Structure 1
């Protein structure tokens, strides 16, 4: 039964690879096979298969795909200075009115929009409010 499944998989893969080669000939980029190992997934078999996927080649095993290191760079969107100033003003007004929950929501929205100053504005406004209450 396992042998029949393997034979079937080979036929399917060869059909897919011939279709990908046809489309690769029509495009300007070459398609290379991905050599991923079945045994690297923890299967109890020693057979390996090669699959052809349109796009760039990958020679990594399945178990390393999810092992992305923390070296990937994430970028925060750049916020317009006028929008940043508006968020700051709204945060200050909310705290001055005693509505800290609204100010916190505005802070979260501002940071999601890319503000780097909103947290400082929030903390300074809280300190100022506490000083005025004393």
Structure 2
């Protein structure tokens, strides 16, 4: 849906000024029109619209890391790659106190072991 901004809006991810024309999803467009912050238009967009990650939530929030544990064992295992030692330790403690799944705990422990053995491990170096 093409919309023209009636007010300025700013977020951590972008700024939209009065008069900006955007092409947004029908859902976002309808919500913004209903709220009175934009109007529907046939004009061509003059600024790009990039949706915010994770429906507006910062992907670096710790809450997103704990959501990893809400998946199946297979989904959890696939999501562990690239997490820091601290994040893995936090997830391990949360798993132990919640679902306590053997497969998840073993995989997190394995990732922690691999992180410690990694030649790229900078922890403890000065």
TM-score, length of structure 2 as denominator length: 0.31
More helix by share: 1
TM-score, length of structure 1 as denominator length: 0.29
More strand by share: 2
